[in-house]
Amino acid sequence: MIMLAAAIAAASVAEMRHQRRVLIVAAPSETDARRIAQRAALDAMPKELGDRDVTVVELTGDTVRGAADSAAALRTRWRLPKAAFGVVLVGKDGHAALRRAEPIDRTTLVATIDAMPMRRAGQR
């Protein structure tokens, strides 16, 4: 169960700025093996994602789950081609903190978030 609450899902990625970190997972299709692997990895870490204020936004073809943005707007803003797999971690400050063309593993995701200034400030 990833953070896709109705109130959060109604917001655009820009509206989540300063409140949430956003992990955008883009894939050409639902059956893309990398999308399936990324989803499985994220499903295995709900506590870590919740503790780190992460909202997952899935972008598959022209379908968006987890944000109010259109698929075209997300693909343009975050440079995610429709025919390619990509993952972008957007920090609370709105910048792309991590970008990968393959699924991001738990260790890399957690370490990247924990190194962010807003995360370190929140742990004090």
Which CATH number covers residue 19? 3.40.30.10
Q: CB neighbours (10 Å) of residue 47?
A: 7
Can you say whether the dihedral through the CA atoms of 105, 110, 115, 117 is positive or negative? positive
Identify residue 73 by its one-letter amino acid code.
Answer: A
**What's the pLDDT band for 7 if we cut at 50, 70, 90?**
very low
Choice among 6-10, 19-23, 65-69, 95-99 with the minimum mean pLDDT: 6-10
Span 49-89, pLDDT tens digits: 999 999 999 999 999 999 999 999 999 999 999 999 999 99
Q: Average pLDDT over the chain, rounded to whole?
A: 90
> Given pLDDT bands bounded at 50, 70 and 90, which one contains residue 118?
low
- Asked if 88 and 96 touch (Cβ cutoff 8 Å), the reply is yes
Question: Does residue 72 form part of some domain?
Answer: yes
Asked if residue 42 belongs to a domain, the reply is yes
User: Is residue 90 included in any domain, yes or no?
Assistant: yes
Are 55 and 69 in contact, with CB atoms under 8 Å apart?
Answer: no
Domain count, the chain: 1
Q: State which residues form the domain around 12.
A: 6-117
Helical spans, DSSP H, in 23-84? 33-43, 46-51, 71-77
Q: Is residue 1 part of a domain?
A: no
The answer to whether residue 124 is domain-embedded is no
What's the pLDDT score for residue 4?
47
State residue 6's pLDDT score.
44
Question: In the prediction, which pLDDT does 16 show?
Answer: 96
pLDDT at 119: 55
**Model confidence at 10, in pLDDT bands (50, 70, 90)?**
confident
81 part of a folded domain: yes
